Each structure stands twice: as structure tokens, then as C-alpha cells.
Amino acid sequence: MKYCKNIHDVVKVNSNFPFPGFEVGEVSDPDIIIEVKKDINFSKEGLSRLDFWFYGKEGGDFVYYEDTFFGVKNKVLLKNLNGQTEVLCNKSVLRLDRFYPPRSRRSFNDLVGTIIRIKLIKNGYLNIHAACLSKDGTTILLAAFPQTGKTLSALQLLKEGFKYISEDTVLIDSKGNAYFTPTISAIHYDFLKFMDRRKIGFWKYYKILLKTWIIKKSEFMNRILEPPKINLLEMVNNEPIRKSKVKIACTLEIGDRRIEEVDKETLAKKILAINRYSLPRIVTSPFIWAYSYFNDFDITEIEEMERRNLLNFLEGCECFNLACNDKNWISLFKDMGVV
């Protein structure tokens, strides 16, 4: 069976394996082709080796990984990162990833996500760890560190008639547009008082209530338990917006109540800090570093492209840094004239 992922016709992926976020089907002219095989027969003859696992040759347009883990061979081949990219692995890689992906390569799913991000950036796009909502032509982007108030502020705006674009991570372009990016968000105990339990179901609500209460009351449990997740899109009855020009871009902090207008360079610096804390980074991928060693690919240039894309996105935005201590984000939006 064939599977695919089409990110707003910017990056298209075909696969023979159902990775998270992929749909049944096939796209034409894919940017990335993924193939999971029973085995990969790839000769290491004439190749140079980096550490114990990575192989390649100068200008060969590939990097090959091979490792034996408890007698089971793991093989991954990455080819042509600057063109139509091919990524191959044997089935043992995915089996191992269920338990413990080795640090030497990280998970295969991480590699696929990193390649997608590179393709997006090179096309003038990037993902931001932010919620994004729109009403009557006013689209607002809310970037924040985890557990700061991004999902809660999005919920408060939805209750005021705003429409959903994203709640956790949003795709934007260098022309100032945000694109529908459905995601799910982790929530915590204090969030529940803003929710209508009828929207998510009686038993699910109390299951979330119990888990978030345990996490809140125990520092130990907070460290080992994953918080429950919800999908705000499932809680609203209006159609999401597929694409919209962003008018207002904000970062959120927990602190003394503040509405501070800032310049785009300051906001870009803050958003990049949020991204690098909250989202997987290209510079942490062992595969990309190994590929860049042998081939014409500059990781620092990709990061600079990411920064330029963000600055261009913010060009037409009003930029703010917002803070509050009482989770009453909607009062700040009202004072700004957004609501």
C-alpha cells in the first residue's frame, strides 16, 4: 500500500509505510520518497567511515548508516538531499525505534521530519511553535514556550468567535501568510476550568482531570508522566481557515501584566528561541551533519534561511510581547483592540 503527505503543495512525500500524519494514497512529483525494505544491500567498498556507523564519499550525494544492535542490523540510506530526496531503511530500524532509537542516528521519524523542515525552509516557509487564529480579517499569531498559555489563549479567542488555523505549531511563509496546521496540545490542571466538559465528554473530562491533578500535585509525576492532550479543532463548530495574512504576531510570557510593542528583529529573536527550545532542530540530526561532511550542504546556511524567512514574514505584522499572571489573556487582547 502507498502512503503520502502533502504540505500545502509545498513539500510532498510518498512512502510505502504509514508514518504519523501520512494518508493512504500517492502524490505526483514528490520531493521526498521513503522506502522501508526487508533489507538494504548497499556496498561499503571504497567508502570512508565516520565514527562506527556513517559511511560516504566526497560528492557522492548520499550518506549510509549501518549498526548492529544485539545482533540485528540497522541500515539507513539518505540520498540527494538537495534534489528529489530518497530515504531508505530496513524494517529492523522501525522495530528498534519502538523501544530505543540509538543516539547515533535518532529515530527514523525524526530524520523524515528534519528533511521535510529543510525542504520547507528552502522554499521560503517554516514552522513556528505557535497558535494562530483569525476573525474578520484580523489574524493573530501567538508564539510561546510550552506550558506558558498558548493553547489557553487560543481557546479564549475561539470562544470570542475567532476561527482556527493552528493551536500548537503553525506553518508560515516569507510573505506573511499562516496556513492551516491541525495539531494537538498538551494541557494542564488549571486549563480545565476554561473548558466545557460537554464538548469533550463526561468520562474523558474526568480522566483528564485526574491525570492533570496528579501531575500538578507531584513534582516527581510531573517529570515522568506525559500530560494529556486535546484537539481544539474538535471542540469548535466552525470551519478552520486554510490560509490567512497575519496582522499581529505576539510572544507570550508568564509575568506581570504587560503589553509591549517590539520591533520585528526583537520578536524574531524571541520566536527563534522558542522554536529551538520547543521543536526538533536540524543541527541536532546526526544524519544531516554526516551528509554535510561528504556533500555540498551547509547547515548554517539553512538556519540563516530560516531566520530570513521569519523576518520577511514579520515585515507587515504588528509585533508584541505579552505577559500576564492570571491566565486572563483575553483581557490583554481586548486592551489591544483585537477582540
63 lies in the same domain as 116: yes
Q: What is the pLDDT of residue 244?
A: 97
Q: pLDDT band for position 226 (50/70/90)?
A: confident
Residue 144 forms part of a structural domain: yes
CATH number at residue 332: 3.40.50
Domains in the chain, number: 2
139 lies in the same domain as 217: yes
Residue 268 forms part of a structural domain: yes
Residue 8 forms part of a structural domain: yes
Residue 306 forms part of a structural domain: no
Q: Which of 125, 159, 184 is the last residue of a domain?
A: 125
Question: Could you give the CA distance from residue 267 to residue 320 in angstroms, rounded to a whole number?
Answer: 7
19 lies in the same domain as 142: no
110 lies in the same domain as 182: no
221 lies in the same domain as 156: yes
Q: Looking at 79-88, 115-124, 211-220, 312-321, which range is the least confident one?
A: 211-220
- pLDDT at 253 exceeding the cut of 90: yes
228 lies in the same domain as 323: yes
Question: Could you give the CA distance from residue 204 to residue 300 in angstroms, rounded to a whole number?
Answer: 45
Query: 145: buried, middle or exposed (CB in 10 Å: 19+, 13-18, 0-12)?
Result: middle
Structural domain boundaries, residue 327 = 126-272+315-336
147 lies in the same domain as 52: no
Predicted confidence (pLDDT) per residue in 164-204, tens digit: 999 999 999 999 999 999 887 777 767 777 777 777 777 87
119 lies in the same domain as 130: no
Residue 161 forms part of a structural domain: yes
211 lies in the same domain as 243: yes
Q: Which residues contact 163 (CB under 8 A, 6 or more apart)?
A: 133, 134, 135, 236, 238, 239, 240, 241
Q: What is the pLDDT of residue 88?
A: 97
Q: Which of 125, 158, 183 is the last residue of a domain?
A: 125
Residue 12 forms part of a structural domain: yes
121 lies in the same domain as 142: no
Predicted confidence (pLDDT) per residue in 45-73, tens digit: 999 999 889 999 999 999 999 998 878 89
- pLDDT at 99 exceeding the cut of 90: no
H or E, element range at 323: strand 318-324
- pLDDT at 205 exceeding the cut of 90: no
Question: Could you give the CA distance from residue 21 to residue 1 in angstroms, rounded to a whole number?
Answer: 16
205 lies in the same domain as 330: yes
Q: Which of 125, 143, 158 is the last residue of a domain?
A: 125
pTM of the model: 0.89
79 lies in the same domain as 153: no
Mean pLDDT of the chain: 91
Q: What is the pLDDT of residue 322?
A: 97
